[in-house]
Amino acid sequence: MDYLTEGIALGVDLVILAACIKQYYKNKNAMAMIQGAPYLTINKDLKEIVETHPEKKLSYVSIRGTVKPLGRPIVSSNNPNVTGVVQLLRIKEHVIQRSTTGFWSDSERVVQEVHNVMPFSIGNKAVFVEVADPLAADVLDMDTISDVFNPTVPSVMDHIWGFFAGIRQRGVQSTEKMLREGTTITGIGELVYSQDSSMLRLQPPSNGAPFYLTNMQVTSLVKKLDGSKRNYKLLCILFGTIGLVIGGFIIRKYLRHKDRQLEESKRKQQLEESRRKRRRQMRDQNLPENQICVVCKNNPIEIILLPCGHVCLCEDCSLDISANCPVCRAPIEKKSVAYVA
Ligand SMILES: [Zn+2]
Ligand SMILES: [Zn+2]
């Protein structure tokens, strides 16, 4: 019985299905929370609103404003005219790799990833809200400042080495992304009034709700989440169906196997029955005392008991006696057919 292939397929399917279900609910919950978060305009009254709340805290709100560095901004490494507050520098290596199946396929590997962050705020005119811990955001939209791919020109030695090592360099991709100064972004998170800096601060929510720093409007963000929620729902249906189909296959295979086993044992039983019947018909009736079964005193002795070696039972009686030899009481380990002349 081999269910290995189906078992693996079902296992993989269930893992994917579970991941899709998790993502579906994550999007659904995020949508509900964002829709429930009040949108507050950044103005002079905002500080008062926060201060009147318990613990001087609004647990989940959305605000929108332009990015302003608190101090000197980061200057882009690729474009000196661009300044920002969060910078991502990533170096990715693209290779062609021989997989275990023997095929060559593209793959990429992050060689280095650096984030540079400096304190910043979002706001308008004179009122600003400091943004804390931007890298903890679930969504942090940044502009791509530069994205360069430098292909590797391989030498003959590289080709030979690559063939044996199973890996060939294709090139290196360097990317720079930045949250630029002056960009208008929507921040969704926890809004607190911090005593030490006497400033309003937007930070990752302590209740586990998602933290967003996005250049989208709230409505676009909700629409995007709704779209991805719908996609995950479709994936759930797809992988759920695949799971059911594989499950059906396994059940069908099992039932068929069971049926075959039952048929087989029935056939064996019938064969045995007919063999026994034939034997009964062939039995000699007038046998001397020492050649008849010690139990029924009727049939000829046909079975040898082991290990004691007594030939004392007919086949019919041997079916009922399997613990001890009726002659010497020795335990019976094995019975064999005895051919008595
Ligand atoms: Zn007997
Ligand atoms: Zn015996």
Q: How far is the centre of ligand 1, averaged over its atoms, from the C-alpha of 53 (Å)?
A: 97
Of 168 and 238, the structure prediction assigns the larger pLDDT to: 238
Query: Mutual orientation of helices 218-282 and 4-36 as an angle, nearest 10°?
Result: 150
How does DSSP classify residue 126? Answer: T
A 10 A CB-CB count for 339 gives 8
Of 270 and 339, the structure prediction assigns the larger pLDDT to: 270
Q: Of the bound ligands, which one is closest to the alpha carbon of residue 301?
A: 1
So what's the pLDDT on residue 172? 92
Q: How far is the centre of ligand 2, averaged over its atoms, from the C-alpha of 272 (Å)?
A: 26
Q: Is 291 found in the same domain as 185?
A: no
Of 134 and 162, the structure prediction assigns the larger pLDDT to: 134
Q: Domain ends where: 191, 207, 232?
A: 191
Q: For tokens 């992988």, name the residue.
A: 239
Q: Of the bound ligands, which one is closest to the alpha carbon of residue 303?
A: 1
Residue type at position 115 = H
User: Is residue 265 predicted with pLDDT exceeding 90?
Assistant: yes
Q: How far is the centre of ligand 1, averaged over its atoms, from the C-alpha of 286 (Å)?
A: 14
Q: How far is the centre of ligand 2, averaged over its atoms, from the C-alpha of 304 (Å)?
A: 9
- CA distance linking residue 83 with residue 38, whole number of Å: 31
In a domain, 139, yes or no: yes
In a domain, 140, yes or no: yes
Whole-Å CA distances, 170 to 146, 153, 173, 211, 221: 19, 8, 10, 37, 36
The percent of residues in the chain predicted with pLDDT above 70, rounded, is 99
Q: How far is the centre of ligand 1, averaged over its atoms, from the C-alpha of 270 (Å)?
A: 22
So what's the pLDDT on residue 63? 92
So what's the pLDDT on residue 269? 94
Q: How far is the centre of ligand 1, averaged over its atoms, from the C-alpha of 321 (Å)?
A: 10
Q: Is this model's pTM higher than 0.75 or not?
A: no
Of 278 and 258, the structure prediction assigns the larger pLDDT to: 258
Instruction: Write b or e for each residue in 215-237: b if 16 or more Cβ atoms lie within 10 A of its Cβ, otherwise e.
Output: beebeebbeebeebbeebbebbe
- Biggest CA pair distance of the chain: 124
In a domain, 205, yes or no: no
Q: Domain ends where: 127, 160, 191?
A: 191
Q: Is 290 found in the same domain as 183?
A: no
What are 287-327's pLDDT values in tens digits? Answer: 788 888 888 888 888 889 989 989 888 888 888 888 899 98
Residue 144 has φ and ψ, to the nearest 5°, of: -85, 115
Six token digits for residue 140: 């942090």
User: Is residue 1 predicted with pLDDT exceeding 80?
Assistant: no
Q: How far is the centre of ligand 1, averaged over its atoms, from the C-alpha of 267 (Å)?
A: 26
Q: Is 177 found in the same domain as 71?
A: yes
Q: How far is the centre of ligand 2, averaged over its atoms, from the C-alpha of 326 (Å)?
A: 7
List, in order, residues 6 or more apart from 104 with CB less than 8 Å away: 96, 97, 98, 168
Looking at residues 74-100, what average pLDDT do you find?
90
List, in order, residues 6 or more apart from 121 with CB less than 8 Å away: 67, 68, 70, 128, 129, 130, 131, 199
The percent of residues in the chain predicted with pLDDT above 90, rounded, is 48
Q: Of the bound ligands, which one is closest to the alpha carbon of residue 302?
A: 1
Residue type at position 196 = D
Q: Of the bound ligands, which one is closest to the alpha carbon of residue 283?
A: 1
Least confidently predicted of 90-94, 165-169, 201-205, 244-248: 165-169
The top-scoring range by mean pLDDT among 13-17, 121-125, 191-195 is: 13-17
CATH number, domain containing residue 334: 3.30.40.10
Looking at residues 13-32, what average pLDDT do you find?
94
Q: How far is the centre of ligand 2, averaged over its atoms, from the C-alpha of 53 (Å)?
A: 96
Q: Domain ends where: 147, 173, 191?
A: 191
In a domain, 239, yes or no: no
In a domain, 70, yes or no: yes
| Residue 198 Ramachandran class (φ > 0 left, ψ -120 to 50 alpha, else beta) | left
Give the distance, in angstroms, between the CA of residue 335 and the centroid of all CA atoms in the same chain: 55
Q: Of the bound ligands, which one is closest to the alpha carbon of residue 326?
A: 2
A 10 A CB-CB count for 275 gives 11
Q: Give the DSSP H/E element, type plus range, for residue 266.
A: helix 218-282
- CA distance linking residue 170 with residue 150, whole number of Å: 9
User: Is residue 340 predicted with pLDDT exceeding 60?
Assistant: no
Residue type at position 76 = S
In a domain, 290, yes or no: yes
* Domain of 145, in residue numbers: 62-191
Residue type at position 207 = N
Describe the strand order of the beta sheet including 303-306 as a list of residue ranges.
311-313, 303-306, 334-337
Q: Is 187 found in the same domain as 74?
A: yes
Residue among 61, 77, 59, 72 at smallest CA distance from 120:
72
Looking at residues 166-171, what average pLDDT do you find?
84
Ion ligand 2: protein residues whose beta carbon lies under 5 Å: 308, 310, 325, 327-328, 330
In a domain, 66, yes or no: yes
Q: How far is the centre of ligand 2, averaged over its atoms, from the C-alpha of 319 (Å)?
A: 16
What are 197-242's pLDDT values in tens digits? Answer: 678 889 999 888 899 999 988 899 999 999 999 999 999 999 999 9
Q: How far is the centre of ligand 2, averaged over its atoms, from the C-alpha of 276 (Å)?
A: 24
What are 100-133's pLDDT values in tens digits? Answer: 777 888 888 899 999 999 999 998 878 889 998 9
* Number of independent structural domains in the chain: 2
So what's the pLDDT on residue 3? 84
Q: Of the bound ligands, which one is closest to the alpha carbon of residue 321?
A: 1
In a domain, 163, yes or no: yes
A 10 A CB-CB count for 181 gives 16
Average per-residue pLDDT in the chain? 89
- CA distance linking residue 337 with residue 315, whole number of Å: 8
